[in-house]
Amino acid sequence: TVITQVNQAVNEVLPSLQAQMIREGADPVGGTPEQFGKFTRKEYDKWKVVVKASGATVD
């Protein structure tokens, strides 16, 4: 699945990006495809509300 492929790619590059991500305020963690899928859905749902409330549109 796409989630599995993206999760694998993220887990592969995470060690090389971890220090930079921490400096920028992120909390980088790896995980399983299932955990990544849940995280992705949660973020989508959160930002959908924020974008809608902002009134932003695509031109």
Render pLDDT for 7-54 as a digit per residue (tens, 0 to 9): 899 889 988 988 898 999 988 887 888 888 898 899 999 999 999 999
Q: How far apart are CA 17 and CA 24, in angstroms?
A: 11
pTM: 0.60
pLDDT at 31: 85
Beta strands (DSSP E) in the chain are: none
Q: How far apart are CA 33 and CA 5, in angstroms?
A: 8
Decide: 4 and 33 in contact? Cβ < 8 Å. yes
| Paired tokens of 15 | 């060690």
Decide: 36 and 6 in contact? Cβ < 8 Å. yes
